[in-house]
Amino acid sequence: MTEERVERLLAEVHDDFGMIRVLEVADYRFLEFGDAIEQSCVFTADPSWLEYDYTRAMLIGALCHDAPESALFLGLGAGTLTQACLKFLQLEDVEAIELRPDVPRLAIEYLGLDDDPRLYIRIGDALELLETAESADLIFVDLYTDVGPGVGHLAWGFLENCQKRLNPGGWLVINQWATDDGKPLGAALLRGLYHRHYWELPVKEGNVILFVPADIDQTLDMDGLTARAEALAPRLGYSLQSLIKVIRPAT
pLDDT in tens, 120-177: 999 999 999 999 999 999 999 999 877 778 888 999 999 999 999 999 999 999 999 9
pLDDT at 4: 59
Cβ atoms within 10 Å, residue 113: 26
- 142 flagged as catalytic: yes
Percent of the chain with pLDDT over 90: 84
Radius of gyration of the chain measured on its C-alpha atoms: 17
CATH architecture under which domain 53-249 falls: 3-Layer(aba) Sandwich (3.40)
237 has pLDDT over 60:
yes
Angstrom distance (rounded) from CA 135 to CA 71 = 8
Q: Average pLDDT, stretch 45-70?
A: 96
pLDDT at 2: 45
pLDDT at 38: 72
Q: What is the dihedral of CA 173, 167, 66, 98, to 10 degrees?
A: -40
250 has pLDDT over 50:
yes
**Catalytic-role residue among 125, 142, 221, 223:** 142
CA distances to 41, 75, 79, 210 from 113, rounded to whole Å, are 12, 14, 6, 25
Domain ranges in the chain are 7-43, 53-249
Residues 6+ apart with CB under 8 A from 202: 178, 182, 208, 209, 246, 248
Residues in the chain: 251
Pairing of strands 28-33, 37-43: antiparallel
pLDDT at 35: 74
Quick: pLDDT tens for 2-50: 455 788 999 999 999 889 999 999 999 999 998 766 778 999 999 999 9
Pairing of strands 70-74, 136-141: parallel
What does residue 35 show for φ and ψ, rounded to 5 degrees? -85, 75
CA-based nearest residue to 208, from 225, 227, 191:
191
